[in-house]
Structure 1
Amino acid sequence: MAHALCLLDPSLKDEKRLITLNFEKVPASVVLKEILNTFDLYYEIDQNVIRIKQFEERIFKLNFLDTNVDMSFDVGGDVLGAGETETASGLSGSFKLSGKGAGKGNAYDVIEDMVKRVISKKGMYSLNRLSGSLYIKDTPAVIRSISKLINHLKEMLSRQILIEARIIEVALSDAYKYGIDWSLLRKEAKTATKVNEASWALGTGLVISGVRKAFTIDTAIDALRTFGDAKVVSNPSIRSKHGQPAIISVGTSYTYKKSVKTTSIYEETSRETTEVEVSTVFDGLILGVIPFIEEDGRITLLINPIKSDVDRASLEPQSVGAHADQSISLPSVGVKEISTTIGLSNGDMIMLGGLIDKREIKENKGVPFLSSIPLLGYLFRNDVKTEETRELVIILGVSLV
């Protein structure tokens, strides 16, 4: 930079701050950089011209999706279905699963809030969500701070985990008709590896955390067979990023007639028009999970499973008017829910229980051939009703990707 021309921004002409620096055998470029860093000024070199400015300008490429992290299932007359209005049943409400790790569910909202807090009074910014770019004009110190925060946010939001789920239905034996003995299961897990302290926040259920690979999902299923007939209902796997909600649903949606509106029109000829509104009701399990991944690899899971049981008989249309076609369904739905937050390490596995229901099973037993004789067959057969207790168990294995 010998014989370079130095141009000072007019806004700096009244700068009167003085500093004392001692340099020995240091390149001129280093001296210039240290002086300007001390005064928090910015410089550009264009051939032999050095331009010293008060503010630096920079464009950051963000490349985030402009989406809100929010998922919800309405709970109403059509529990976990598609209804939007309240009903007289008192079941109205909504189950919402939202990413709240950063206070807001949109990356651009987080960045804009962050910039507003850091930028100086004379600084300025422009955030373009469509192009995914952020323009900043401010002092070099502010630019460096914003750059660090954006890089940290990018690194944090890029973390993701693989969630391997097993949804198991256990038909409990008579010895365990009140539910799975989690203390016994915990002892079985300890024979393979150390198990952390359990969380009793679920009431009748239990979370076992810190289970290492020696106690795998398959061995956990085998251990559940101690308490009855265990059947794997579903085994989905899903990937999720930090703070992004993941939803797993297993079940069936039933369509039913929600309302009927008949309009009579009297003109030259009278006629009637009928409008039928249908809705859906969900029968099964919805599992909502939000992972939060720390820098050291620790994982915090917010878990919220909801089990809904629809009474099929309640889906049959019931007459509500004078006409035969004026009938609607009034679904009867039982809902069970668990909500918990738990910390894990990479490769750990957790088990959720406590979702218990009872079913009545009807069987016709009788003497072969004789029980099927018309009119007299009932003398040789017997209708047997038994009650079966089932517990739904959710096993989740988590690993960093």
Structure 2
Amino acid sequence: AELAAREQMELESRQQISELAPLRTEFIEVKYASAAEIFGLFQSAGESGGEGVVSTRGSVIVDERTNAIIITETIERINKFREVLDRLDVPVRQVLIEARIVTATSSFGESLGVRWGTLGYGSYDDGNINTQFGGSLTTVGEIRESLTAGGGLAYSQEDNLIVDLPAPGNASSFAFGIIGEDYLLDMELSALETEGRGEVIARPKVITSDKQEATIESGDQIPYQEASSSGATATQFIDAVLGLTVTPRITPDDRIIMDLEVSQDSIGAVFAGIPSIKTNRIKTQVLVNNGETIVLGGVFQTVVSESVEKTPILGDLPWLGSLFRNKTKQDDKQELLIFITPRLIRDSLTSR
């Protein structure tokens, strides 16, 4: 009881000193935080039963224009306020976040084709009427065109082929011809092999503060016409963008927790006048060391196709069937990888 009475007397003594202490007005500038938010924190502490910023004798004014607090209080309370403010009014740490979207493609195709034709010639017994059959390439060129039939009538033969199944595009070819007394045979073998490789790297970057969401987008708005029920048409737009949305949280040991979404859109096929959008998107949360690069995910796609053009029945013959068909094989591969690298920005760089 005696100890409790002594503590009560000390408390009353401090209150009397505080009530009699002179008041002082100070202008306190808040550098990094919001002055209104700082004052709100102190007010909440007082309303919840803690020690507030000001006593019944003092006053506080928040000047939002200069982001400052004007406080009128005893020197003891002002010093306590400054001590807490120094802990709260610190620069917000920032993070540079870089994403890399790597799309690697490779393709390989091969095609083998053939073109050939024959030309036969002769005459009736009177030697005045000539006959021709089959078709021919231009392999033998001027030799074939200068042929003169038995009746003395010269002729030329166009490209009327029996089999015309060449390799597509600028294929390499090997041609030869055989000329007999009453026939001509032309043949051309063509082959094409294509190989291609490509790599596309997109690198969106964004700087944001700790616990603040940031978004960066770059792309196109694709217009298309849309008809309404009344028959009128209006122009609508579809977005095809490369985007990065991220919210970082810096841990006490300088690691970064990131809630992020990375997307890469591209224009696809058009259906009924409306373009489609090919979308690659990933949404996840990761914990990464400062400056470390990690792979968020990836997609590997491969397409193998084989097509055969042939003359019915003849193209299925063993050995000889190759003279009546064209064969094409295509092998396409695509790989998508998404990397992310966060880097903490030092305060010295931020203040420059």
Report the TM-score, using the length of structure 2 for normalisation: 0.48
Q: Give the structure with the larger strand fraction.
A: 2
Which protein has the larger Cα radius of gyration, Structure 1 or Structure 2?
2
| Length-normalised TM-score, structure 1 | 0.43
